[in-house]
Amino acid sequence: MKLPLMKVGTRLTLMMLLCLAPAALGFTLVTARTAANIFSQELKEETRIAQRGLNAALTADVEQGEWDEVRYILSEMGSEDLIAALLDDRGKLRFALPSFPIEPPPLEWIVRQIKVSGSAEFMRHSGGRLWFCRIELLGGGGQGYL
């Protein structure tokens, strides 16, 4: 039994699809990668802005030892997506809410990064999520790190 021959239009359509499929796939991959990079950069910039504001809000309270106020501010802003902690001048957790999921890096690394760029930024996996972390001096320095 002979199979019916494909019509010319069907063959032409299949050939065009085969030729265009790699270009469409490439375009999709480039678009997805670009969108992910843009999202990542915007997330990092929002984190920097939030940290600057939080640093200004907490500096006076930390200097005066008003830990109830610090706890209140951090608990009000603390959520699943944006969390903060204070590190002492040795780089150890000084104050954090119980849900703080990140272990700080070594103090030597923090100090070196802050000297080079003004802050220490890194990524960490914790609790099934990828976190963008940023450490900078609290206030003018001497009070630890935020």
pLDDT tens digits along 30-78: 887 888 788 778 888 888 888 888 888 888 888 888 888 888 888 877 6
Query: What is the pLDDT confidence band of residue 18, given thresholds at 50, 70 and 90?
Result: confident
How much is the pLDDT for 78? Answer: 61
Mean pLDDT of 86-105: 84
Buried/exposed code over 64-80 (b: 16+ C-beta within 10 A; e: otherwise): eeeeeebeebbeeebee
pLDDT, mean over the chain: 81
Which pLDDT score is estimated for 44? Answer: 82
Please report the pLDDT score of residue 116 as a whole number. Answer: 92
Output the pLDDT for position 35.
Answer: 80
Which is nearest to 83 in space by CA: 95, 97, 94, 72?
97
With cut-offs at 50, 70 and 90, classify the pLDDT of residue 3: very low
The predicted model gives 125-137 an average pLDDT of 85
